Structure 1
């Protein structure tokens, strides 16, 4: 395991679970922005793998700075891609805003999705 991904290294990870179909949500586009008073800066973009996870942390080490962040998950496109007619008619993109505090280590922000609802929490 490299220093960038050791358990002690501060990092931000996510995964997406499709609760309507009872499986990981593969192929969900995920964008990450750092928020500031002057606007926002895109800092990462990825797509979930077959396990509904990203292949690497979105941010790790010194790149995970304290501050406000926003994850945006393209769930409408995901539901269209799995052939769920009409499922993308309600949710298109799901934004999740959160704050990273100094010294709190690993931030895991999972997203549980269904065609008409979603849930998130700070995972481990």
Structure 2
């Protein structure tokens, strides 16, 4: 069985899944970023399919970029003229070729957290 990568976004300020946020996935090699996938979150704050499915999975360094600024602005969560948070990059490594990696984003207007989920 080959590994794969999934993600989701929870809006912790509103207590809801974060729908309609664009996400890009980059592979990092020799310090260079190459975009390999992009998607948008559904009504459950998840992507409709793994952002990196088993058939495309490779171990290595990756970066997810969550484009949250517009979402925060649309929900009145920016708190001022300038967004405190806008694009949120999370760089991580995957070294088990058979594992399911899950990298969620817990989002609020002034902070975020992530973890390796299941």
TM-score by length of 2: 0.91
Structure 1: gaps spanning 5 or more residues: 1-7
**May I ask how many residue pairs the two structures share in their alignment?**
117
Write the mapping of 1:38-49 to structure 2, written as runs, cut at 5 A: 39-49=32-42
Cα pair 2:4 2:53 within 8 Å, conserved:
yes
Q: Structure 1 runs of 4+ off > 4 angstroms?
A: none
Selected match of 2:116 from 95, 111, 122: 122
Write the mapping of 1:1-124 to structure 2, written as runs, cut at 5 A: 8-37=1-30, 39-86=32-79, 89-124=83-118
Structure with a larger share of its residues in helix: 1
Structure 2: gaps spanning 5 or more residues: none
SS in 1 for 2:77: coil
1:77 Cα shift? 1.1
Q: How well do the aligned residues superpose, as a CA RMSD in angstroms?
A: 1.6
1:61–1:85 CA distance, 2 compared to 1 (3 A): closer
